[in-house]
């Protein structure tokens, strides 16, 4: 009770008694079950899990795991910290100055940077500040629905921005944009507040397709005096050879985007955040907008963003770049230690917000599908993929130092399985 709090202990005692009442356990087993539940209980009910799906950015599993440096930064910033205070002068300072400086050092193509709550907040803030009561010009091929039924167009229109759709599902040409931009303005006030390019991060349109690129749009946008926003989703700051089709902030800014938006917990590999990079004048307008205060990042996020950049390679990039041969060795090692299962080819995926449809060749340990449930419910929960009546354990997203925990979890699930079959 001292460590976890009385309410937590009481909750566990009651839940265990209820299990006895439902005859799931015997009344005599209650004290032992309570003791083991208390032992396994962390200070929050969120439990660390091993992601054995091979999907690097798994939104249901908390997206990017933080680097060691970012975890340490969270600890350091957890108490009082100088997030908005200058220790030299004793005066108030710019909030999150260190995270901003780290972002600008990592992405020199940007004049300024701002960190907000998440990618959706970045998009809402950008379109509201630049186009409230006006319209954003947006290709019909890029009206993305992200997870859980949320649609980016609904997010944008929620703050009184209207959407001016151009083109079709499969083809949108530069002329579709320029026709609207050239008709706009004149003697009347401008109707278009911004042009928005959205990375179709979770789907691909193939076949008879056409799009206007950021480089195509930059000139006409500049001529019309309308800012060009690029929502990149995935969070790469630089091109990554492993994902040649994936957009990155540096290339987008160099191609002429005035503002790029990315998520912090996708391929950037950090905490949940929205990262805005771009022209100083535009970032300044966004930072001064009333909505900026409603979506601002907390001190923990700012600390973790900085450390994600300055620390060693974040785990998402290590998983992305994992050598298939090394994955095969680890998987074979696991099979040998377990004495069961087959090592089979298994493609990993980038997952939410990047690399749609791009397979990442790798390997998995194939086990009977009935093990998946006990793996999920073990002391160290392991989430694997169930497909074709098999449970596929993929090591791509498991840190090598966690291999022994994975082995222990697999042994315990196999042990429970044997007991059941007896």
Where along the sequence are the contacts to ligand PLP (CB under 6 A)? 118-120, 123, 144, 146, 152, 198-199, 201, 231, 233, 263, 274, 353
Kindly tell me the sign of the dihedral angle through the C-alpha atoms of 373, 375, 381, 382: negative
In the three-class reduction of DSSP (H, G, I as helix; E, B as strand; rest coil), residue 188 is classed as coil
Nearer to ligand PLP, 121 or 406 (CB): 121
| Bridge partners, residue 327, by sequence | none
Task: Give the shortest CB-379-to-ligand PLP separation in angstroms.
Answer: 31
Task: Give the shortest CB-357-to-ligand PLP separation in angstroms.
Answer: 14
- Output the CA angle 330-47-309, nearest 5 degrees: 70
In the three-class reduction of DSSP (H, G, I as helix; E, B as strand; rest coil), residue 138 is classed as strand
Nearer to ligand PLP, 120 or 372 (CB): 120
Nearer to ligand PLP, 172 or 178 (CB): 172
**Phi, psi for residue 27 in degrees, rounded to 5:** -55, -35
Nearer to ligand PLP, 250 or 331 (CB): 250
**Residues contacting 18, CB < 8 A, separation 6+:** none
- Name the DSSP letter for residue 298: P
Task: Give the shortest CB-126-to-ligand PLP separation in angstroms.
Answer: 11
Task: Give the shortest CB-147-to-ligand PLP separation in angstroms.
Answer: 7
Task: Give the shortest CB-353-to-ligand PLP separation in angstroms.
Answer: 4
Nearer to ligand PLP, 199 or 366 (CB): 199
User: Whole-angstrom Cα distance, residue 294 to residue 135?
Assistant: 22
User: Whole-angstrom Cα distance, residue 191 to residue 131?
Assistant: 9
Nearer to ligand PLP, 178 or 202 (CB): 202
Task: Give the shortest CB-319-to-ligand PLP separation in angstroms.
Answer: 18
User: Whole-angstrom Cα distance, residue 408 to residue 401?
Assistant: 13
User: Whole-angstrom Cα distance, residue 245 to residue 356?
Assistant: 10
């Amino acid at each position: 009770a001292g460590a976890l709090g009385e309410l937590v202990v009481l909750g566990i005692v009651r839940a265990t008694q209820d299990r006895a009442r439902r005859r799931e356990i015997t009344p005599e087993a209650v004290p032992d079950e309570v003791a083991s539940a208390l032992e396994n209980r962390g200070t929050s009910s969120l439990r660390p899990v091993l992601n054995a799906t091979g999907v690097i950015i798994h939104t249901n599993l908390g997206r990017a795991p933080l680097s060691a440096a970012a975890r340490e930064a969270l600890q350091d910033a957890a108490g009082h910290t100088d997030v908005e205070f200058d220790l030299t002068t004793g005066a108030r300072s710019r909030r999150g100055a260190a995270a901003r400086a780290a972002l600008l050092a990592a992405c020199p193509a940007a004049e300024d940077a701002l960190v907000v709550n998440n990618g959706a907040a970045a998009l809402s803030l950008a379109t509201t500040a630049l186009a409230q009561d006006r319209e954003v010009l947006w290709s019909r091929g890029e009206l993305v629905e992200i997870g859980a039924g949320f649609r980016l167009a609904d997010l944008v229109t929620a703050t009184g921005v209207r959407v001016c759709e151009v083109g079709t599902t499969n083809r949108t040409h530069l002329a579709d944009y320029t026709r609207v931009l050239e008709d706009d303005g004149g003697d009347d006030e401008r109707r278009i507040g911004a042009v928005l390019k959205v990375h179709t991060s979770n789907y691909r349109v193939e076949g008879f397709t056409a799009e206007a690129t950021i480089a195509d749009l930059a000139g006409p946008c500049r001529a019309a005096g309308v800012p060009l926003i690029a929502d990149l989703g995935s969070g790469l700051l630089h091109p990554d050879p492993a994902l040649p089709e994936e957009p990155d902030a540096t290339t987008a800014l160099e191609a002429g985007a005035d503002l790029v938006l990315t998520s912090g917990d996708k391929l950037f590999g950090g905490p949940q955040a929205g990262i805005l990079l771009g022209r100083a004048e535009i970032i300044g307008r966004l930072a001064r907008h009333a909505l900026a205060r409603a979506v601002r990042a907390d001190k923990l996020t700012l600390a973790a963003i900085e450390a994600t950049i300055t620390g060693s390679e974040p785990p998402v990039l290590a998983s992305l770049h994992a050598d298939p041969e090394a994955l095969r060795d680890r998987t074979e090692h696991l099979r040998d230690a377990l004495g069961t299962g087959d090592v089979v080819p298994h493609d990993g995926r980038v997952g939410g917000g990047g690399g749609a449809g791009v397979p990442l060749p790798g390997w998995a340990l194939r086990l009977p599908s009935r093990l998946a449930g006990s793996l999920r419910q073990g002391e160290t929960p392991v989430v694997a993929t169930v497909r074709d009546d098999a449970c596929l354990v993929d090591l791509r997203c498991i840190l090598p130092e966690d291999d022994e925990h994975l082995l222990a979890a697999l042994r315990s699930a196999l042990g429970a399985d044997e007991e059941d079959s007896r």
